[in-house]
Amino acid sequence: LAAAAFSAAEAEPKRLTLAEAEALVRTGLKPSPDAGINPALPFSLQEWKDEALWTRLRAQVFRIIQNDWPQTTVIIHKGRVVPFGVSFGGLGVGSLCVTDLDSDKQPELVFTYAWGSGMHRAQLGIVRFAEALPKWESLGLTYLHGDLALERVSDQKVKVRQATVRWGANLDKAADGATLVPGAELATIEYDAA
């Protein structure tokens, strides 16, 4: 059924191995403030484990780890590498879920990201896939001095929860064990046609 969404002229996308994704990131991601890394230097990838990314969006999401810290998160979609969120001074993308908030049968990716040097903040973002190149934008909600996590209720409803970071044994190696622990519900995201 998922394959039926692609036109006959469009080839069925192929899920990438870590080695294939790393090669694509090296060639497809240019050093810039948006990327936050220099792909010519050593890095590793951590793939986001959420099957809906592939089954509904035909996309893969990877955290890029450089110097033992998440530097940026990227979507690989139709052979293109698209950075999203902000990670400067923080852990970057912390949670995500596939939704169809406006019920237009074009799923989108809602996510939280945390960043900040001096003033830590967590924000909500969305990646829309309706255009040829996925684009991300902030949803305008900012939570200061803390983190956020998402809980998908349905395609049209997502709970936003306060979250705390549970650190691993080595605080200098966030990639080795910093995880978000969801807490109290702060808000609910629902589409309002008005």
d(CA 52, CA 61): 11
Average pLDDT over residues 34-45: 78
Instruction: Answer whether residue 1 shows pLDDT above 70.
Output: no
| Average pLDDT value over all residues in the chain | 85
pLDDT at 93 over 80: yes
Mean pLDDT calculated for residue range 43-67: 92
Check: CB of residue 37 under 8 Å from CB of residue 62. Answer: no
> Which pTM was predicted?
0.86
Statement: residue 35 has pLDDT above 80: no
Core vs surface per residue 43-76: b (16+ CB within 10 A) or e: bebebbebeebeebbbbbbbbbbbeebbbbbbbb
Q: Say if residue 141's pLDDT is above 90.
A: no
Neighbours of 29 (CB within 10 A): 22
